[in-house]
Structure 1
Amino acid sequence: MNPSLLSTLSRNWWLLLLRGLFAIMFGIAAFSWPGLTLALLVLMWGIYAGLDGLFAIIAAIKGGTPAPRWWLALVGLLGLGAAAVCIVNPGIAIAVIIMIIGWTSIIRGIFEIVGAIGLRKEIEGEWWLILSGLFSILLGVIFVTRPGAGALAMIWLIAAMAIVAGIAMVLLSLRLRRHAKQAG
């Protein structure tokens, strides 16, 4: 590692500590209030889609972009429509997102299994790819048939990832703090 980079990281170890602590708190909050977390994620995405749509419409009106004006206007209107759905009826937005994830997972799983069968003479351990494909299909079927459970699983995965990443950042920050003390 570059000595100046290590020195800079060591001096600012506390920033990494704060990031880690906030990630852990977010993960715990997401586990504690999964419905609220999901609603806030949909609302935040809705706000993003609305602003993106608004900026696309402004770009269509002003012109001077490489994209055709009609395309920008269409993208803008779709963004505003998606924002409206997310804000007015977040349940529908959640269901659509979960369905997209579910069908994508099913299709991916099928391709993984087909790929593994095609590669079975070329590689060893192709059954791992088949197992991965079966797992993808199973997950997709759960998301499509039970979107509520799929949404909850998605929040739990995000929460778990936040906690694990937060713990890793906290541990790294403590190592950097020790390094800073040793360096002087």
Structure 2
Amino acid sequence: MNFGLASFNDYWWAVLLRGIVTLLFGLAIFAWPGVTLALFIMLFAAFAIVDGVIIAVHSLFAIGRDSRWWIKLLQGVAGIGAGVATFIWPGLTALVLLYIIAFYNIFEGILQAVYGITFRKEARGSLMLVASGVISVIFGMLLLLFPMTGALALIKVIGIFDIVLGLLLLLLAVDMLAAKSAARAAA
């Protein structure tokens, strides 16, 4: 079965929503310069759940159209799980929260890069998907390598990361929509 460019580009809306949510999360960190760890924990939990739901819904729309739908479903479940775990145990120490964020970004990044690689011959924007996945993995690894820096010190870094990732996802959504329009015009 070849799901091709049209199938990949049909989901530009999910990538756009993820880009908006990710960008807003990053900007929220800078909007509240005195953000406390407790507020950051709640922001992260809400972000992870919303992002996970968007990805899971995206995967469910792809069932029957894309044999790789399960990759996105795993990614969505990981996000929802990370968010729910954070809400259930808000008294987590900064170090445990840091590890949740690190593993969430590594797992999500690997799945996102794999998903992008599977579309490398079919979609121009797949390189941005792979790049955002690689950035997520690098970010997660840095959090694991330097945990003693502390979650409070990393809040701004996390904000910058999410702003960059959000912008990459927005660019990918625009590219996907343009490709979809070009394919429709060529048909």
Q: TM-score, normalised by structure 1?
A: 0.41
Q: Whose radius of gyration is greater, 1 or 2?
A: 1
Name the structure where helix makes up a greater proportion of residues.
1
Q: TM-score, normalised by structure 2?
A: 0.41
